[in-house]
Structure 1
């Protein structure tokens, strides 16, 4: 009898989770999911977390329970893969080596803190990981509290929050924080109406490259919320509480978030294969890494293109599509079937714009915004989380049946 194939997925983000679901439901192979954290971080809801609109439990999915829910052919291992021996087909972690027949790399991306901008990494926050988002949230509230305490409840001095980058993440965070501050002014008994949000963008407007409807709605909403948009400006240096724009104009800040682009995870630095300027792996039309046999890549770690050859933006949607396709092609190889070429495309875009407001474009023809957009986005995001939580519950039920029961001696 032929031995079952072993598929190793490195990374439990949107691409990795979707690949896990696709592979596990087939029961054709043994699957090992490896991630340095025991949770799947719902990065698309990070803006709500840092603006106190939700708790940490709302933005995490337990990868241990999720893996358990599929049965004995799925295993989760908490480890950090440092390098890969492609010749001997083994992914090396901190303390062990994980052999594979097929390898799927889904380790995502990180914030691109450009080394050419002095002080940027040291004095700004990223929000692409849960620890960084929680760190910002905690420090922001501590600083705001200290300011109010020192001034007897009156914030007479400006409290400036700077967000660098006018892409999707920067716009959503700016809008959500501005709305949070507006509610804070309205509801809090401590008078503090001197908080300002600055959004710094290098281009003419926000959301460059997206359709005009989303750009217009986002711009209108940001202005309505009081966000100060500084366009045609590049951050050229950063000190502890001051940044310099275009080498000449300075701006003081109390907190800074940087969302100005991504680069692939550090794992790609150890992989001798073709990459783009963002260190993303160049994959073929089947999402294989051409240099190595049996190796695929999905999500932000790979340069993804649509059916017309155009670059896809690094979104949860493109990550999920690529994770599914890569998993389907691995199953095709296991069953000696023909693989599918990539036919990925963006089916729509949703932009959260603070409070009960969002702008949505679906299939390039259906567009709406405001409260309706907010509810549609909320239903979609909650649906994603709900089905994963339901699957996790099955895993927790299995775990509770295998654990020894503790009894008190009354």
Structure 2
């Protein structure tokens, strides 16, 4: 029987935030949930380094959103969004279909950042957060390391979390295949003085040790000026050769598809109020990487999968509260820690203010991943 009081929630984006929100609301009979995503898959981005090195299958990192929404009592639309008409409460899809909503959550995540000041960057601007690109680069990596020649080189530009996990996992793969560094060298370029900028010294020191143990060659303190003829040209005049290159310098958000005047920051993140709502439209929420959020100390919150999931659960609760005319809950969320894979069954992390490393840290990281991916297991 049709529920005359049923409200419609549209969620744009099938990443960590969007899928967590769908799952949180699966038993709400007074709410119709529609998930819109431009691809039919959810990508578990925290495990892409494992997939690149064939330590995880495609099915372990890419989850079908049609099956997911069907099993979570939601509707799925695979389409790009052309525009959002906030005043009219409507979403315009690429095929010109119009979706009306009572509540809207924007959870479109982030895309890889490619600095335009690097000469020729557009020729190498492949975003491995895109599933097709990820599959292509996995094939390129294995084709390269399986070729029978010397002096092969893989370069990872960006020494943040994704960069170090990819570099270390690839180096472990070479070691397991008995490929020496003079046959294939993994190099990591980070313009700041150390890898994992602005992270806890405990995480940095353990990750640096792992890089040394696995012969990851590191370049620090110089910018990438140009990429040309299979060579990276650094600002300190060093030249780094490559056969395969990954740019994981950082992320930015896709610009909001709306002609209306919504406040965004320099990274295209949407500025939200303490309840994760867009200031001008109280029935519209923005969560995950797309949202600019600030902690109690006034610092910008680092966009992570863990934070996206926490914000999704909070927003799900607030939408129910709004329907039931109950007070909303403010965003005072804090993450429980951070885990970094150091390749194989080695990891390091901070968990509830405890320092962990080795197998224990690895197992904790796998548990965190499974807590999320279990929502796709029926």
| Alignment partner of 1:278 out of 260, 267, 278 | 267
Structure 1 pair 315–278 and aligned structure 2 pair: CA distance change class (3 A) = same
Partner of 1:308: 297
- Contact 2:84–2:258 at 8 Å: present in 1 too? no
Gaps of 5+ in 2: none
2: CA distance, partners of 1:270 / 1:56: 37
Structure 1 unpaired stretches of 5+: 149-154, 394-410
| Aligned twin of 1:406 | none
Q: Where in structure 2 are the equivalents of 1:55-74 lying within 5 Å? A: 55-71=57-73, 74=74
CA RMSD of superposed structures (Å):
1.8
Q: Which moved more, 1:16-25 or 1:105-114?
A: 16-25
Does the 8 Å contact 1:167/1:260 carry over to 2?
A: yes
Q: Which residue of 2 aligns with 1:50?
A: 52
Mark the CA change 1:271 to 1:247 in structure 2 (over 3 Å): closer, same or farther.
Answer: farther
Residue number among 279, 290, 298 corresponding to 2:279 in the alignment: 290
Q: TM-score if structure 2 supplies the norm length?
A: 0.94
The structural deviation recorded for 1:307 is 3.4
Displacement of 1:161: 0.7
Bigger relative CO (Cα 8 Å, ≥ 6 apart):
1
CA apart distance, 1:6: 0.5
For the residues of structure 2 that align with 1:205 and 1:268, how far apart are their CA atoms? Answer: 37
1:65 counterpart SS class: helix
The match for 1:388 is 375
Q: Point out the structure with the larger helix share.
A: 1
1:191-230 correspondence to structure 2 within 5 Å: 194-230=183-219
Check 1:289–1:53 CA distance in 2 against 1; reply closer, same or farther (3 A cut): same
**Alpha-carbon distance change, 269 to 114 in structure 1, aligned in 2, over 3 angstroms:** farther
Aligned to 2:323: 334
Once the two structures are TM-superposed, the CA of residue 297 in structure 1 deviates from its matched residue by: 0.4
Deviation (angstroms), 1:65: 1.4
Residue 222 of structure 1 and its aligned partner are, at CA, apart by: 0.9
In structure 1, what is the equivalent of residue 358 of structure 2? Answer: 370
Q: Which residue of 2 aligns with 1:24?
A: 26
- After TM superposition, where is structure 1 displaced by more than 4 Å over at least 4 residues in a row? 268-271
Matched, 1:185 2:178: yes
Alignment: residue pair count: 375
1:252-275 deviation per Cα after TM superposition (whole angstroms, max 9, x unaligned): 111110111111024357553111
More deviation, 279-288/239-248: 239-248
Match of 1:246? 235
